[in-house]
Chains A and B, each alone.
Chain A
Amino acid sequence: MTLALETRALCKSFGALTVADRVDLRLEAGVRHALIGPNGAGKTTLVNMITGRLAPSAGQIFLAGEDVTRLSQAARVRRGLGRTFQINALFRDMSVLDNVALGIAERDGVGGRLWRPASAHVRVCAEALELLAMFGLTDDADRRVLDLPYGKQRLVEIAIALGLRPTVLLLDEPAAGVPSLESHRILESLERLPASIAILIIEHDMDLVFRFAQRITVLVQGEVLCEGAPAEIADDPRVRRVYLGERRG
């Protein structure tokens, strides 16, 4: 079976510092896969390499069986790779609708059209509104992103990525910085994401991880410590020692 995403012996070094060391990751289509590890484990670096923002020092990245290691970010997006950012990376001075519509327009190849008004691209606008409705953001469509509460901004992050119709979605700490009262909205939204999308989620909120993920990879100091089902990970003494502490399980 062709994997939706695979990394083979992926390495990244900054001088003498190795932040990713022969990382092998395998995501099947539609899987919910979590990547956990203590701060500085190299999780975001790994996501940045997968998306093409950072060039790996060695190793390969495959999307649906195709080697994309040397492709640009844009080319990977066109092949179905979407991502969200750990710290909001939104178009802050633009409306919520525009934030989502920009991505949809790029996906549909109309983002560079020079003449017809953007608002005349009815299909783009309609799809953006549908996505906003899915995340409960319809009433905020015309508001500037800057004026939204942080929790809603996190939802806009996910909506933008989803607008690209990805087959693989990388969620970099989607609940980071969100008050606990609002994080359930994030989880609910994640649970409603289309089942066909393979999702790799990086998250420090262990309740969210264990509720959401079907598989978990633990990364420590740039190396894969172990990989398995949530119950296996929770019972693994190495994981408990380096990451979860002895309370769990």
Chain B
Amino acid sequence: MDNSIDKLKGQWKAAGSGSQPTKDTVEDIIKQSQHKMKKAINMHVGNIAILSLTLIGLSLFFYYLAPLQDALSHVGITLMLGGLLVRILIEIVSIAKSKKIDMSSSIEKTNRQYLGFHRYRKNIHGSITLGILFVYSVGYYLLMPEFANYFSRIMLIVLIFSYIPVFMIFGFFIRKSIRDEMKCLDELIDERSKIQE
């Protein structure tokens, strides 16, 4: 056995003797690294910006254009805006968690960090996002009694039923995100068993 391993070591050394870096690659790597970091920041900031703009837009809408008066409507508005605010906070925590993953740790530790991150993401995409969507929807429908005072019956029916496809589209994306996170978790658990077996 040891002889054959020594033989393999010899082959391994011989196989690795030819690879040398080219001169311009260090500059390329630094540029690519900066580009990758910028892209990641833009993506995270983009998500938060979209959610924040929606929150600001809705707040301005309810403050200036549709200052609803009923207590039930106020509860509805609070639920809708509160749901969005919680989602923004979750997104910020998610970014902080992803930044904590250290690629220079041991395989076991990095695997544990990834597992923690994807479990968190699975919960966010699953029960928490569904909860937020439910709270947001309840908030939306709580506005309808007061809307009934200002809109025609047909307009009210449109407002009530047009929300259903939006809800279904959200549901589809939530399901897809959970599946992606589950796949990733399965891979990480499988990798963990290979480390520990």
B is a partner of A: no
